[in-house]
Structure 1
Amino acid sequence: MKLLHKDIEKDNAGQVTLVPEEAEDMWHTYNLLQVGDSLRASTIRKVQTESTTGSVGSSRVRTTLTLCVEAIDFDSQACQLRVKGTNIVENHYP
């Protein structure tokens, strides 16, 4: 895992920016995250748009979500980290 940025206070509050390089890095991230932490990640969302004529179209867009972590789950078979939480920063796509 690559550490891009670290800003830790004396009371252990702060932020870090990590980039996973291997599948096993998700396991390490799972052990670092706690309920109540904020997590920012890039994701792809399907966005539906309606034109003035009433036709509906959809497209996939990349957006960034910032979540307040409510639950964390790690799938060891797929090396995937699943995080449940509410979005705390407004973005352009609902």
Structure 2
Amino acid sequence: MKLVSKNFDKESEGHVVLIPEEPEDMWHAYNLISKGDSVRSTTIRKVQTESSTGSSTSNRVRTTLTITVENIDFDTQACMLRLKG
């Protein structure tokens, strides 16, 4: 896992920017993230627009999502981290 930046104050509050490089890194992220933390990530969404003539076009849009974690789950088979918030 690549540590991009970190910033902590004396009350043990702060933020960390991490980039997972291997599937095992998701396990480490699972152990670092807890309920109440804010997690930000980028994703690509497909947006479909329909014109007045009825034709539709679709575009891919990069979006940044930020959630406050309510529940965290780790799938050991797929090495996938699931966050609910």
Larger Rg: 2
Deviations 1:40-65 (A, max 9, x none): 10112121212243322223222111
SS of residue paired to 1:11: coil
Whether 1:5 and 2:23 are equivalent positions in the alignment is: no
Which stretches of structure 1, 4 residues or more, deviate above 6 A after TM superposition?
none
Q: How many residues align?
A: 85
SS of residue paired to 1:65: strand
Structure 2 CA distance, aligned partners of 1:70 and 1:54?
41
Aligned alpha-carbon RMSD (Å): 1.3
Using the size of structure 1 for normalisation, the TM-score is 0.81
2:21 matched to which residue of 1? Answer: 21
Structure 1 residues without counterparts, runs of 5 or longer: 86-94
Question: What percentage of residue pairs aligned between the two structures are identical?
Answer: 66
2:62 matched to which residue of 1? Answer: 62
Structure 2 CA distance, aligned partners of 1:80 and 1:36?
20
